[in-house]
Amino acid sequence: MMHIAIDGKRFFANSSGLGRYSRSLVESLLALDQEDLLITLFRPKGRTLFEATENRALRVVGAEYLLPGDIGNALWRFRKLPDLIGRGGYSLFHGPSHVIPGNLPCPAIVTMLDLIFLRFPEYFPLYDRNYYRYMFRKSALRADHIISISEATKTDLMAFFNIPEEKISVIYPAVDETLFPLETSRLMPIREKFKLPETYVLYVGNIEPRKNILRLAQAFDHLMTSKRISPQTWLLIVGRKGWFTRKIFSGIDKLKHKAQIRFAGPAYGDDLSGIYQMATVMAYPSLFEGFGYPVLEAMQLGTPVLTSNVSSMPEAGGEAARLVDPQDMEDISNGLADLLTNEKLRKDMIQRGQAHAAQFTSEKLARETLAVYRKFA
């Protein structure tokens, strides 16, 4: 029996890419139904956003600590968890979100999603980037092997932490299979709930400077002012607020067509599927990503995608996305104009996008990760 211990902090408590990766990994491993595989998932204390589905091959162990919140959880992860691993007779420990504790009595794998804080330190609070710099490097060095979610992150691991290439396996994340095309009858209530216009450019993700939302809004405003796109077009921004948002909101407030730029807040499940599905174009001109989940999400739901030509976005989008220079507002504008005004191009990109997204399956993620487990357990 191969018994894998997995840090479940992000699985249970995170709704963004870190959480989605952890949940899709665990759920896809269990779906393989391997008779010799047992997984123990360590759950943080208190109320969480998500729960694990019961499965014969899954055990959930709750953390116990006195101090509240992240401080208590961090002390438990780095001081008490190694003792639990030692007493549990585990074959391997996997930290699926950048960090593993020291003094583990079994082999350890760590997944590195990105090193954005080293590329763009100005977009992170001082404490966070110093903590990340120390802990990510330490975890990468102490791990027996590293799973990177893109070639871009692998390159950064080798450049910033001097990790040898043979210590890193690139395993792409799976497209989110909880998002799927909805029947037409289910779309109308979502359109009414979010007051969606007939034609809109969609952005999905956290609202923070690295995501390049202000430049996207400026490109949209430029198209509206120059009358290159229909005056009935909107820009819809879906996601929750992140760090350093003041300049984003104040910059958008100065635009001529700010009335047609709307922040809809976060959306999940069927609501998010419908919002993707009804969008005319999904624009994701981020300055840097470990992978870029929204690119694949939009593609699998039949929406043409504009994204950046830097870091991991060309890997996520492949030849099915319109790639632009995220630093060039004119390039973003031209890309949006092409997609909004050329129906033949949109149809072609929809077909290519769906075929591209279909390659990123949860079974592929699980089988490739399981092969790493078997090699090091």
Digit-coded pLDDT (tens) for 93-146: 999 999 999 989 999 999 999 999 999 999 888 998 999 999 999 999 999 999
Checking if the pLDDT of 318 tops 80, the result is: yes
How many domains does the structure of the chain reveal?
Answer: 2
Question: CB-based burial of residue 147 (10 Å sphere; 0-12 exposed, 13-18 middle, 19+ buried)?
Answer: buried
Residues 323-347, mean pLDDT to the nearest whole number: 98
Checking if the pLDDT of 170 tops 90, the result is: yes
Statement to judge: residues 270 and 343 lie in one domain: yes
Interstrand relation of 58-62 and 92-95 (parallel, antiparallel or unpaired): unpaired
Residues 231-240, mean pLDDT to the nearest whole number: 97
Ramachandran angles phi, psi of 307, nearest 5° = -145, 180
**Predicted local confidence at residue 331, as pLDDT:** 98
In a domain, 252, yes or no: yes
Statement to judge: residues 233 and 267 lie in one domain: yes
Please tell me the number of Cα atoms within 13 Å of 244 on its side-chain side.
Answer: 14
Statement to judge: residues 126 and 157 lie in one domain: yes
Statement to judge: residues 102 and 242 lie in one domain: no
In a domain, 179, yes or no: no
pLDDT band at residue 377, thresholds of 50, 70 and 90? very high
- What is the reported pTM? 0.93
| Domain region containing 21 | 2-174+361-376
Ramachandran angles phi, psi of 286, nearest 5° = -60, 150
Nearest to 108 by CA among 98, 122, 94, 96: 94
In the sheet with 305-308, reading across from the earlier edge strand, the strands are 261-265, 234-238, 200-204, 281-284, 305-308, 322-324
Statement to judge: residues 285 and 349 lie in one domain: yes
How far is CA 316 from its chain centroid? Answer: 11
Checking if the pLDDT of 67 tops 80, the result is: no
Checking if the pLDDT of 7 tops 90, the result is: yes
In a domain, 207, yes or no: yes
Which are the contacts of 341, defined by CB distance < 8 A and separation ≥ 6?
228, 229
Mean residue pLDDT of the chain comes to 94
Interstrand relation of 108-112 and 145-148 (parallel, antiparallel or unpaired): parallel
**Predicted local confidence at residue 160, as pLDDT:** 97
* Pair of tokens at residue 178: 């909880």
List the CATH number of the domain containing 56: 3.40.50.2000
Ramachandran angles phi, psi of 116, nearest 5° = -60, -35
Nearest to 99 by CA among 144, 128, 135, 71: 135
Statement to judge: residues 22 and 143 lie in one domain: yes
Residues 74-97, mean pLDDT to the nearest whole number: 90
pLDDT in tens, 257-279: 999 999 999 998 999 999 999 99
Which are the contacts of 258, defined by CB distance < 8 A and separation ≥ 6?
221, 252
**Predicted local confidence at residue 353, as pLDDT:** 98
In a domain, 63, yes or no: yes
Statement to judge: residues 143 and 286 lie in one domain: no
Statement to judge: residues 100 and 17 lie in one domain: yes
How far is CA 173 from its chain centroid? Answer: 9
Whether residue 308 contacts residue 214, with contact meaning beta carbons closer than 8 Å, is answered with no
